[in-house]
């Protein structure tokens, strides 16, 4: 073992500052070899197969590999460079091959099958039964019963898919990074808030240019689209954003999209499923593509009349205000914001001074303290991968360690856009010790400038609460096995803890805890709280069908045979037809930058956001009936949802928490799509 390679030593906290980029590949390869030896030991054991020496032993194998790869791939998302991306391309096929070596290990599968066939006589508890079933299914769902030549084909598909997904993500990041809109004439920046202009000026200065630079990163792109009065500039930026991966050049993703969709279908057929969506949804609450399709269409039926009414209202408003005859996609955020200001006299610029990033962080911590008795203390002696990262020790009322929490809030060239929660170390129990998790959230909020701290839009406030909800799922995990811990749950259940926490952003009792003016310390005025609440459903019909359109696009790629699809744009236009409001933009394509489904884990699962909204609306109704800081309901939620991870079927957990199955009416009521 290479003693010079820090990743191959024993550590608890990730030793970021001591990791050299050249350490990653040899460490991963070494850990793969170690894990292989552990697997061989289990598979070739002379002992009679038992739950402990086979299923449990397999669960705890490869821990070193899991730690090292979690560090590496998290860095590849949050602080990457060309060298790291190159290593990712090199190690991904190796890891894919190793995973297949395990799944297609005949001796190992025979031992697991042996234990599985005895399951009724083994006296296992609920978590052990779930683990046994998941391990057995992991083998059967991934080719363990296939003949050898088919297994070989599966390996090749998996290797190629891991390469293509990485390439897709790299192209989107490169496209985002290479574009900039340089404006040198200040009169063209009319409507933009001063603080936002200052940030754009700083970006230009950093790049040695005169003027203002706007980029495709969300903290730059979204405010520009919302406030810039110059319609031509909005159009230019929207064209750049909408055409990422769609330029027929070296960063084009059309071929990658087609290959990924077709390989996923081929893989599913090989395993005996009708489509990739049939394969994926077997292990989801939704169960089948037919159920998802029915759910999306039912929601569309309820939301479409409202969306069409709202679109007409927005179109008439734009015509009356500026003589716009045809509302285009680059007008949506701008006129939406103008109409919102007219109806509610409320905009982000009025709200932002009350949402200083540090105050919002304190606010989400206070909400967690009131609900779950957690205490957060910033610590400065934990290693970080970037100076922007903040670290916190999380303890409970008795002072016992609950988790380590990393938070990374601002955009950088090496960071992919969006916001996500991730894990550096899982929670689990081994040899009587409850190993506590290391959890991270990564966001892309506006950076502080010389003149102003980082002030969040209300949408960014809800994003922070959302990701922190995921983090709580990880922090409060209390299971025996790492693969069933925290957010390791069915994909259409994973968004419940995150989406439900967003509700606290709209409540007076919660906002009063942290929404204070960054200069005066004055609490957010009651009229603003009322307007936040009132405007929560503003253009909700349009927002709903936008979300449904993404779920339908996802299903269109994954629920049927994509073999005949030759034109990505054409296919996408057809999928969007039922939800279409705006004229199509020929130069833009959603699929070529739809990282959630072509790089992340949301393939055949994008509907989960809407599905989880049903769960979250029903859950929050329960909280509201008893008080949003009800200890009793919070304890039930923690006990039955947050701490249990994937140890039981999510519907069983939900019914134990709520006393009933979730009702879609709660969501439709909250969205104002049906009467209270």
Per-residue pLDDT tens over the stretch 400-454: 999 999 999 999 999 988 899 999 999 999 999 999 999 999 999 988 988 899 9
**4: confidence class by pLDDT, cuts 50, 70, 90:** confident
Q: Answer for the pair 483, 59: CB distance below 8 angstroms, yes or no.
A: yes
Torsion, CA 651, CA 655, CA 656, CA 660, rounded to 10: -170
The mean pLDDT value for 100-105 works out to 91
Q: Considering only residues 145 and 440, tell me which one the structure prediction assigns the higher pLDDT.
A: 440
Domains of the chain: 6-145 (1.20.1050.40), 179-242 (no CATH), 353-538 (1.10.1370.40)
Give the tokens for residue 61: 């194998």
Average per-residue pLDDT for the chain:
95
Pairing of strands 420-425, 212-214: unpaired
Note if 467 is an active site residue.
yes
**674: confidence class by pLDDT, cuts 50, 70, 90:** confident
**3: confidence class by pLDDT, cuts 50, 70, 90:** low
The mean pLDDT value for 149-154 works out to 94
For Cα atoms 468, 473, 477, give the angle at the middle one, nearest 5 degrees.
140
What residues contact residue 51 under an 8 Å CB cut-off, 6+ apart?
115, 122, 124, 128, 132
- Minimum mean pLDDT range among 64-73, 106-115, 193-202, 471-480: 193-202
Please give the Cα distance from 460 to 466 (Å, whole number). Answer: 9
Q: Answer for the pair 235, 115: CB distance below 8 angstroms, yes or no.
A: no
Distances (CA, A) of 310 to 25, 307, 317, 583: 53, 5, 10, 16
What residues contact residue 411 under an 8 Å CB cut-off, 6+ apart?
217, 218, 219, 220, 417, 444, 445, 447
| 1 pLDDT above the threshold of 60 | no
The mean pLDDT value for 535-558 works out to 95
What's residue 348's pLDDT? Answer: 85
Per-residue pLDDT tens over the stretch 274-331: 999 999 999 999 999 999 999 999 999 999 999 999 999 999 999 999 999 999 999 9
For Cα atoms 552, 250, 211, give the angle at the middle one, nearest 5 degrees.
90
- Minimum mean pLDDT range among 148-152, 256-260, 404-408: 148-152
Residue that has been written with the tokens 């052990």 in this structure: 128
Of the candidates 492, 467, 497, 426, the residue with the CA atom closest to the CA atom of residue 642? 497
- Minimum mean pLDDT range among 2-16, 37-51, 241-255, 424-438: 2-16
What's residue 2's pLDDT? Answer: 53
Cβ count within 10 A of residue 44: 11
Please give the Cα distance from 250 to 178 (Å, whole number). Answer: 13
DSSP-derived 3-state class of residue 421: strand
DSSP-derived 3-state class of residue 375: strand
Give the tokens for residue 268: 């599913």
Q: Give me the numbers of helices (H) and strands (E) for the chain, helices first please.
A: 27, 9
What percent of the chain lies above the pLDDT cut of 70? 99
Length of the chain: 676
Catalytic residue among 467, 507, 613, 648: 467
Per-residue pLDDT tens over the stretch 594-612: 999 999 889 999 999 999 9
Please give the Cα distance from 35 to 459 (Å, whole number). Answer: 43
Distance of CA 52 to the CA centre of its chain: 34
Per-residue pLDDT tens over the stretch 472-506: 999 999 999 999 999 999 988 999 999 999 999 99
**676: confidence class by pLDDT, cuts 50, 70, 90:** low
Please give the Cα distance from 483 to 474 (Å, whole number). Answer: 12
Rounded (to 5) percent helix, strand, coil in the chain: 60, 5, 35
**12: confidence class by pLDDT, cuts 50, 70, 90:** very high
pTM of the model: 0.85
Per-residue pLDDT tens over the stretch 347-401: 888 999 999 999 999 999 999 999 999 999 999 999 999 999 999 999 999 999 9
What's residue 663's pLDDT? Answer: 84
């Amino acid at each position: 073992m290479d003693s010079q390679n820090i990743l191959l030593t024993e550590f608890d906290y990730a030793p970021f500052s001591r990791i050299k980029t050249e350490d990653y590949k040899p460490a991963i390869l070494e850990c793969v070899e170690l894990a292989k030896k552990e697997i061989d030991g289990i598979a070739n054991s002379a002992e009679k197969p038992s739950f402990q020496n086979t299923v449990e032993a397999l669960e705890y194998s490869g821990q070193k590999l899991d730690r090292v790869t979690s560090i590496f791939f998290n860095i590849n998302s949050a602080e990457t460079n060309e060298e790291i991306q190159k290593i990712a391309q090199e190690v991904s096929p190796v890891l894919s091959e190793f995973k297949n070596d395990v799944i297609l290990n005949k001796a190992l599968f025979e031992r697991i099958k042996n234990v599985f066939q005895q399951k009724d006589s083994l006296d296992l508890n609920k978590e052990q039964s779930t683990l046994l079933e998941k391990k057995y299914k992991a083998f059967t769902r991934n080719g363990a019963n296939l003949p050898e030549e088919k297994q070989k084909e599966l390996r090749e598909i998996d290797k190629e898919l891991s390469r293509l997904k990485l390439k897709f993500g790299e192209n989107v990041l490169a496209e985002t990074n290479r574009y900039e809109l340089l404006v040198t004439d200040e009169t063209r920046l009319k409507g933009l808030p001063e603080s936002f202009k200052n940030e754009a000026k700083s970006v230009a200065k950093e790049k040695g240019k005169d003027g203002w630079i706007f980029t495709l990163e969300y903290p730059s792109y979204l405010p520009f689209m919302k406030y810039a009065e110059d319609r031509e500039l909005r159009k230019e930026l929207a064209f750049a954003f909408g055409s990422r991966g769609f330029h027929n050049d070296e960063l084009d993703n059309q071929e990658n999209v087609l290959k990924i969709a077709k390989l996923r279908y081929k893989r599913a057929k090989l395993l005996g499923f009708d489509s990739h969506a049939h394969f994926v949804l077997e292990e989801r609450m939704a169960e089948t593509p037919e159920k998802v399709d029915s759910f999306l269409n039912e929601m569309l039926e309820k939301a479409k009349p409202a969306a069409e009414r709202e679109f007409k209202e927005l179109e008439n408003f734009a015509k009356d205000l500026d003589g716009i005859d045809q509302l285009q996609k680059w007008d949506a955020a701008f006129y939406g914001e103008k109409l919102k200001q007219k109806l509610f006299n409320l905009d982000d610029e009025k709200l932002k001074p009350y949402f200083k990033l540090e105050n919002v962080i304190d606010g989400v911590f206070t909400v967690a303290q009131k609900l779950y008795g957690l205490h957060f203390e910033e610590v400065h002696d934990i290693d970080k991968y970037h100076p922007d990262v903040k670290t916190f020790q999380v303890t409970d009322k008795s002072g016992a360690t609950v988790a380590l929490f990393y938070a990374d809030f601002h955009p950088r060239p090496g960071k992919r856009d969006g916001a996500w929660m991730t894990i550096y170390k899982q929670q689990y129990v081994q040899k009587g010790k409850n190993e506590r998790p290391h959890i991270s959230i990564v966001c892309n909020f506006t950076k502080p400038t010389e003149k102003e701290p980082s002030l969040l839009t209300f949408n960014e406030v809800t994003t922070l609460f959302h990701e922190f909800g995921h983090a709580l799922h990880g922090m409060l995990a209390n299971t025996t096995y790492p693969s069933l811990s925290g957010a390791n749950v069915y994909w259409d259940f994973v968004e419940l803890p995150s989406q439900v926490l967003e509700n606290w952003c709209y409540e007076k009792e919660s906002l009063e805890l942290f929404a204070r003016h960054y200069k005066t310390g004055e609490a957010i005025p009651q009229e603003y709280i009322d307007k936040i609440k009132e405007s929560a459903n503003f253009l909700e019909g349009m927002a709903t069908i936008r979300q449904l359109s993404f779920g339908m696009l996802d299903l269109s790629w994954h629920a049927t045979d994509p073999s005949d699809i030759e034109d990505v744009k054409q296919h996408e236009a057809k999928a969007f037809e039922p939800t279409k409001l705006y004229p199509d933009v020929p130069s833009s394509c959603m699929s070529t930058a739809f990282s959630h489904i072509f790089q992340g884990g949301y393939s055949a699962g994008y509907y989960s956001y809407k599905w989880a909204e049903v769960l979250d609306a029903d859950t929050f109704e329960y909280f509201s009936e008893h008080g949003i800081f009800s200890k009793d309901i919070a304890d039930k939620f923690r006990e039955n949802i947050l701490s249990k991870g994937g140890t039981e079927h999510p519907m069983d957990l939900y019914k134990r928490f709520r006393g009933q199955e979730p009702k879609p009416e709660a969501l439709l009521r909250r969205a104002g799509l049906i009467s209270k």
